[in-house]
Structure formats: structure tokens, C-alpha cells
Amino acid sequence: MEPTTDEDRRNELRSLLARIEQHPERDMTAERQRVQVLRQLVGGTQETA
């Protein structure tokens, strides 16, 4: 198993933010919580979802 890199985390963060933006009508509480965790891990300067 390969270690998770900061680039992997940034990719996941971008993917989650895009999904949240595309479907604002959905309850994405878990995704929003994951966004917060990822931002903390990568030093978070991405837009708030």
C-alpha cells in the first residue's frame, strides 16, 4: 500500500469541492467535514464550500 501524499489530499479536496458545488441541493455534511479535515492536513487555502 502506498502512503497518502499531500498531492493525493489536494486532489481529493478539489474533487469534493467540485461535487459540493455541482450539487448544492444535496445534504453533503460528511463531505463538508472531510473538506475541513483535508484543509487542515494540507495547510488549507482553498475556497470554503
* 1-49 per-position pLDDT tens digit: 889 899 999 999 999 999 999 999 999 999 999 999 999 999 855 555 5
The pLDDT, as a whole number, for residue 1 is: 80
The pLDDT, as a whole number, for residue 44 is: 54
The pLDDT, as a whole number, for residue 26 is: 95
Residue 18: partners with Cβ closer than 8 Å, 6 or more residues away: none
DSSP-assigned states of every residue in 8-36: HHHHHHHHHHHHHHH-TTS--HHHHHHHH
Measured CA to CA, the distance from residue 36 to residue 31 in angstroms comes to 9
The pLDDT, as a whole number, for residue 12 is: 97
